[in-house]
Amino acid sequence: MANQIPDQKRVGIVSLGCPKALVDSERILTKLRADGYAMSPDYAGADVVLVNTCGFLDSAKEESLDAIGEAIAENGRVIVTGCMGDEADVIRARHPQVLAITGAHQYEDVVKAVHEAAPPSQGPFIDLIPQMGDLADIKLTPRHYSYLKISEGCNHSCAFCIIPSLRGKLASRRVDAVLREAEKLVAAGTKELLVISQDTSAYGVDTRHEEREWKGSPVRAHMTDLARELGKLRTPAGETPWVRLHYVYPYPHVDAVIPLMAEGLLTPYLDIPFQHASPSVLKAMKRPANEAKVLERLKSWREICPDITVRSSFVVGFPGETEEDFQYLLDWLEEAQLDRVGAFRFEPVEGAAANDLPNPVPEAIKEERYARLMEVTARISAAKLQAKIGRTLPVIIDEVGEPDEDGDIGATARSQADAPEIDGNVFLRNVPADLKAGDFAQALIEDADEHDLFGVIV
C-alpha cells in the first residue's frame, strides 16, 4: 500500500488479569503505534509478542507462565510485563528464552524493550506522518464501551493481597486529565464508561483532593465530583452514556453518589468488594468490620434509588474461618440481597500476610463452602431476575447475530445491572435488521433464569 511504512514491524499482545491491566496494554500498544509499529492479531505475523501478566494469585501466575510458554512456542520472541514482572527469577527459571521482563505500568521500559527486540522502521519520511492523537488510541474492548482508569496503586494492607507491593501506593490521576480522556472516548463512540482503579472511593486522597479547572469551573479530584462531571457527558447524538463505578469501597461519602444514580446521571450500579461479613474474619483480613451498618446503608440506597444494582465478591476458606463465620456470611447475604455475587476460594499468594495465619481451612471444606455460597447467591439472583419479567428496561447492544432460517435475528445485550464480562446478559429475539452493537434500546423482559434475562425490543 502507498501509505504503509516500509518494513513495518508488527507487535502481538496477550493481556491477562483485570481491566486495569487491559488499560495498561492499550496504552503500551498506543505508544508503540505512534512509534511506527503495526499490531499483529496472531503469533505468526508478529516480530515480537508482549505478554501482560497477572500476579495476584498463584493460579493467575501459573496461567501467566503458561501464556508465556505458549507465546514462546508459537513465536519465540517474547517480552513479559505486568504484575508478575516483579518475579523475574520465577519467569526466567521456567522460560529462560524471554527477551525482557518489566513490572506493572512501566510503559517506558516495555516500549524500550520492544525497540531493542524489533527496532522500528525509520524511513526518511517517518517523522512527517501525522499522528491522530488520543482519539486514535488503541482499544482492546469493543468500540462502544471503555475502561477509564482514574488511579494506580492502593493504600490498604489487606492480609490476602499483594497489590500495593506490585503497583505501589495510591497515585491518583489529575481530575481534568481523567475528564478529558472520558470526553474524547465518548466523542469517539464510547457509550459506556467503566470507571476502574484499585480503590475508586479513595480517588484524590493522595493529592488532598486538589482542584483543577474544567469547563470554566473548579473540580476536585474526588469520587463524587468526578462522578457528577462524568454524568454531564453526552454522545455526539445527544445520548447520556452509561457511567459504571467499579471497585468502590463503602466509605461514608459513597452515599453522595446514590442521588446521582436516582437522577439518571450515573448508571445505578455499584461494585463493592465486601470480601466477607463475619467480624472476626474481616478483622483477620485487615478489612473494616462494619457489616451491620452496611446493611442499613444498602436499605437507604435502595430507598433513594430503587433500581440500584449492588455487586460484590467474597472469599471463602480464609485462614481461621469457622463454620460459624461462614454461616454468618450466608445469613448476611440473605439479608443483604445483593444482586450480583462472585466468590473465590482463598488461595495463598507469595508475600501476603495471610499465609502466616494459623488454622488454614482444608481444601475440601473450601470447596463445600464455595458450593453452598454459590447456591444461596444463585437463588437470590434468580428471584431478583424473575421480578423483572414484564418490565421494560434500557439495554445496550453488545452483539447482533446472523438471521436464522426463518430470517429472525437475535442479539446479545446488557441491562444497567450488567457489567461486561462479569455479570449477566439480556438475550433478545427478533431484533430489527438495522440494530448494531453500541445501540441503546428498550427491551420488554419475557423470561429469566439464574443469571440472564430474555426479551424483545419494544
Output the pLDDT for position 439: 97
Q: Residue 244 phi/psi, 5° resolution? A: -115, 130
Q: 10-24, 188-202, 235-249, 382-396: lowest mean pLDDT where?
A: 10-24
Output the pLDDT for position 169: 87
pLDDT at 419 > cutoff 60:
yes
Residues 62-115 have pLDDT tens digits of 999 999 999 999 999 999 999 898 889 999 999 999 999 998 778 889 999 999
Residues 280-326 have pLDDT tens digits of 999 998 886 666 689 999 999 999 999 999 999 999 999 999 999 99
Model confidence band, residue 413 (pLDDT cutoffs 50, 70, 90): very high
DSSP bridge partners of 392:
444
Tell me the H-state helices in 267-342.
Answer: 279-285, 291-304, 323-336
Q: Which run of H or E residues covers position 22?
A: helix 19-34
- Cα 209-212-218 angle, rounded to 5 deg: 95
Assign 178 to helix, strand or coil: helix
Quote the distance between the C-alpha of residue 312 and its chain's center. 13
Mean pLDDT of the region 354-368: 90
pLDDT at 377 > cutoff 90:
yes
Percent of the chain with pLDDT over 90: 71
Q: Which residue has the cell 496503586?
A: 153
Q: How far apart are CA 78 and CA 341, in angstroms?
A: 37
Output the pLDDT for position 270: 97
Residue 279 CB: number of other CB atoms within 10 A?
15
Looking at this protein, which amino acid is placed at residue 41?
A: P
Output the pLDDT for position 123: 45
pLDDT at 129 > cutoff 50:
no
Output the pLDDT for position 107: 80
pLDDT at 34 > cutoff 90:
no
Rounded to whole angstroms, what are the CA distances from 297 to 7, 250, 344, 380?
Answer: 60, 9, 25, 19
Q: What's the CA dihedral at 244, 248, 251, 254 to 10 degrees?
A: 0
Asked if 309 contacts 268 with a C-beta cutoff of 8 angstroms, the reply is: yes
Model confidence band, residue 162 (pLDDT cutoffs 50, 70, 90): low
Output the pLDDT for position 229: 97
CA-nearest of 418, 340, 393, 394 to 145 is 418
Greater confidence (128 vs 197) lies with: 197
Model confidence band, residue 124 (pLDDT cutoffs 50, 70, 90): very low
Q: What is the mean pLDDT of the chain?
A: 90
Residue 184: CA count within 13 A, CB half-sphere: 15
Supply the DSSP string of 211-272, one letter for each residue.
EEEETTEEEESSHHHHHHHHTT---TTS---EEEE-S----GGGGGGHHHHHTTSS-SEEE-
pTM of the model: 0.81
Model confidence band, residue 125 (pLDDT cutoffs 50, 70, 90): very low
Q: How far apart are CA 116 and CA 282, in angstroms?
A: 47
Domains of the chain: 10-127 (3.40.50.12160), 138-386 (3.80.30.20), 392-457 (2.40.50.140)
Give the list of residues 6+ apart from residue 417 with CB closer than 8 angstroms, or none. 269, 309, 339, 340, 423, 424
Model confidence band, residue 126 (pLDDT cutoffs 50, 70, 90): very low
Output the pLDDT for position 288: 66
Binding-site residues for [4Fe-4S] cluster, in ranges, read: 18, 54, 83, 154, 158, 161
Output the pLDDT for position 57: 80
Model confidence band, residue 132 (pLDDT cutoffs 50, 70, 90): very low
pLDDT at 40 > cutoff 50:
yes
Q: How far apart are CA 19 and CA 196, in angstroms?
A: 8
Q: How far apart are CA 57 and CA 375, in angstroms?
A: 24
Output the pLDDT for position 135: 35
Highest mean pLDDT among 132-141, 240-249, 279-288: 240-249
Model confidence band, residue 122 (pLDDT cutoffs 50, 70, 90): low
Residues 319-348 have pLDDT tens digits of 999 999 999 999 999 999 999 999 999 987
Binding-site residues, in ranges, read: 18, 54, 83, 154, 158, 161
Model confidence band, residue 138 (pLDDT cutoffs 50, 70, 90): confident
DSSP bridge partners of 92:
none
Model confidence band, residue 1 (pLDDT cutoffs 50, 70, 90): very low
- Cα 362-316-423 angle, rounded to 5 deg: 140
Output the pLDDT for position 355: 77
Assign 163 to helix, strand or coil: helix
Q: Which run of H or E residues covers position 455?
A: strand 453-457
CA-nearest of 90, 103, 74, 57 to 12 is 74
